[in-house]
Amino acid sequence: MNTVEIERDSVVGVITEKVFLENLCPFSKFCTFISRSIIYKDKILDDLLKFKNYINEKIDKGSFEFCKLIELYKKINPCLHPKLKSEQVDFSAWFYSLNRLPSNVLETFVFLLINKPPRILFSKDELAENYIPRMITKGRNRDVFKFLNGKSVIVVREMETDVLDFISNMCINTIESKKLRNLLNSPLILGKLFENKNNFEKSVEIVESVTKYNMTKVQKENLRKFFGENLAEKLINLCLHYQDYSISICKLQNSDQDPSEKWIQNLWIITRNILGVNSSIEEMEDLVVDISQGSKRTLLGCISPHIYHNKEKILEWGSKQNIKLRTKVFLNETDKLLAISYYYYKVYPEELLEKNKMESQCGLRYIEETFSTGIQILIINVNKLDADFCDPSFNVKPASKMHVILHFVYTFGAQSSLIIKPILMLFGSKARSMNIVGKAGGLIRNRSDILVSSNFFYDKTKEIININYGEIDFIELEQKTKSKVHLGPMLNVAGTVLQNNDLLHFYKNVQGCVGLEMEGFFL
């Protein structure tokens, strides 16, 4: 029931939500008025802002008040955490967070987030390996080091998006771990878990019985990947931990051990090695550098000579083994080859070694050392590629005798500016192009559609940036990819978890966004 106060002889008109949204033209004066009213008067995005501000204000000011942090997090109602306020364990959200947190998260009480590598790391390798062992984070390429039992130091890529990502995932883990602890923490259940140590299947049955939740095959696989076979012992640790976390953020001053400087120096050394030269950039008049970012596996699948030398063998193996692929209809046979090859090299590790060796001989070099930037890079000497052993749609045409492609596997939010700037300073006018293909969240139409940005909305400042998207032939792009192409504004949000229905509804229906990029940033 709505109440409206009006003056005498006034007329009240009511229109439906559908009609209102259909007539709300993005970027019009009326739309601008409505959007400002929603943001500054209705304040529907304030809870997200308060959560982010509380985290940013805590840099160099001691540890968080964890109860307050969780309280602020609960108010944002993230889309990826639908059972946040339910008593049921949200296994999907919990698995998502565990995959992006250090493997020792259930044995750690203190986390220190810093923006520079710890000094002991630059001591003797054996000293660092023994006293600060590296902890794995499966879904995030972070440097995490165990500092004695119960304490970990995390080198964050930059002090905003990476920090927000870590802490929001810690909030999910804390909330869901407490729910699970409340269900498991009884002498009878703990006794059953202890009896079934090293029996993964039995441990899962106990969890399903207690939580009244039947896990899918994929969820069980995720549980096994993170906890291993000894799930029971990990769950007992979870019950003893009590989620007594302390998190602090410390911003260190730049030093002679700046990670990005060492990363860019190493990149240039290896690039010269691949080209077989020992000259300065100024002396290399015909050097051409193309910069790209996206999936390493997808790009290697297009140009790895071993795959195409063994094309018939791989396809035949996939047919005989009756490999079940999630994608049922492929654009062409090459796409099917790439899908099957993933499983082929898993079964035949010796073939994978041969594949890596052949790629190295054909001018492909993958740099795994990140110098705490978290960024791995694939360098391609285009002149060494053989067009007969590449994806037919990949046009191998060197632009000069010294033509390289620098392919970044992953940068994180605002970190992109810290990496792109020194690269452009290094190569200058030799860098002729930059191509970024990412996995964005679509707000309209179907999965696998292509989104082209005309504008960027930056969630942090609410500013909008116009984009020159080049001379793209949309009809040709749709015909070649057999996908729908949508042109429109894109939203950049500070973190994957930091989005809720209010935010998505506002930017989709009021601002006309076709999609969003998580941990997004623009230069």
Whole-angstrom distance, CA of residue 443 vs CA of residue 429: 37
| This prediction's pTM | 0.88
With cut-offs at 50, 70 and 90, classify the pLDDT of residue 447.
confident
Neighbours of 366 (CB within 10 A): 16
Q: Any idea what the Cα angle at residue 222 is, between residues 216 and 226, rounded to 5°? A: 150
Average pLDDT over residues 134-157: 92
Alpha helices in 23-160 (DSSP H): 29-36, 46-57, 66-76, 91-98, 125-131
Asked whether the predicted pLDDT for residue 256 surpasses 60, the reply is no
Does 3 fall in a domain? no
Long-range contacts of 444-448 (CB under 8 A, 24+ apart): 444/486, 444/508, 444/514, 444/515, 445/484, 445/486, 446/484, 448/483
In tens, the pLDDT along 327-371 reads 888 888 999 999 999 999 999 999 999 999 999 999 999 998 888
- Are residues 487 and 461 part of one domain? yes
Tell which of 229, 249, 269 closes a domain. Answer: 249
Does 457 fall in a domain? yes
Tokens read off for 149: 């039992």
- Are residues 511 and 490 part of one domain? yes
Tokens read off for 284: 């290399």
- Are residues 404 and 276 part of one domain? yes
Does 255 fall in a domain? no
Does 413 fall in a domain? yes
- Are residues 330 and 184 part of one domain? no
Distances (CA, A) of 475 to 55, 204, 480, 486: 45, 50, 9, 11
Does 282 fall in a domain? yes
- What pLDDT is stored for residue 346 in this prediction? 93
Q: How many domains does the chain have?
A: 3
Whole-angstrom distance, CA of residue 12 vs CA of residue 420: 55
Asked if 59 and 249 count as a contact pair (C-beta separation under 8 A), the reply is yes
Between the CA atoms of 219, 221, 225 and 227, what dihedral angle is there, to the nearest 10 degrees? 60
- What pLDDT is stored for residue 448 in this prediction? 82
Average pLDDT over residues 508-521: 88
With cut-offs at 50, 70 and 90, classify the pLDDT of residue 523.
low
Does 480 fall in a domain? yes
- What pLDDT is stored for residue 157 in this prediction? 86
- What pLDDT is stored for residue 371 in this prediction? 86
Does 209 fall in a domain? yes
Between the CA atoms of 224, 229, 232 and 238, what dihedral angle is there, to the nearest 10 degrees? -50
Whole-angstrom distance, CA of residue 506 vs CA of residue 512: 9
Tell which of 420, 436, 452 closes a domain. Answer: 436
Helix or strand holding residue 272 (H, E): helix 259-275
- Are residues 470 and 423 part of one domain? no
- What pLDDT is stored for residue 218 in this prediction? 84
Average pLDDT over residues 254-281: 85
In tens, the pLDDT along 6-57 reads 888 888 888 888 888 888 888 888 888 889 898 889 999 999 999 999 999 9
- Are residues 468 and 383 part of one domain? no
- What pLDDT is stored for residue 254 in this prediction? 62
Asked whether the predicted pLDDT for residue 1 surpasses 70, the reply is no
Neighbours of 412 (CB within 10 A): 23
Whole-angstrom distance, CA of residue 117 vs CA of residue 156: 9
Whole-angstrom distance, CA of residue 438 vs CA of residue 303: 19
Give the list of residues 6+ apart from residue 508 with CB closer than 8 angstroms, or none. Answer: 443, 444
Q: Which of 487, 462, 491, 507 is nearest to 26 (CA)?
A: 507
- Are residues 237 and 269 part of one domain? no
Residue 417 is part of which domain span?
260-436
- Are residues 110 and 205 part of one domain? yes
- Are residues 311 and 381 part of one domain? yes
- Are residues 385 and 337 part of one domain? yes
- Are residues 214 and 78 part of one domain? yes
**Average pLDDT value for the chain:** 90
Average pLDDT over residues 310-319: 95
- Are residues 443 and 427 part of one domain? no
Does 112 fall in a domain? yes
Asked if 480 and 19 count as a contact pair (C-beta separation under 8 A), the reply is no
Tell which of 249, 268, 298 closes a domain. Answer: 249
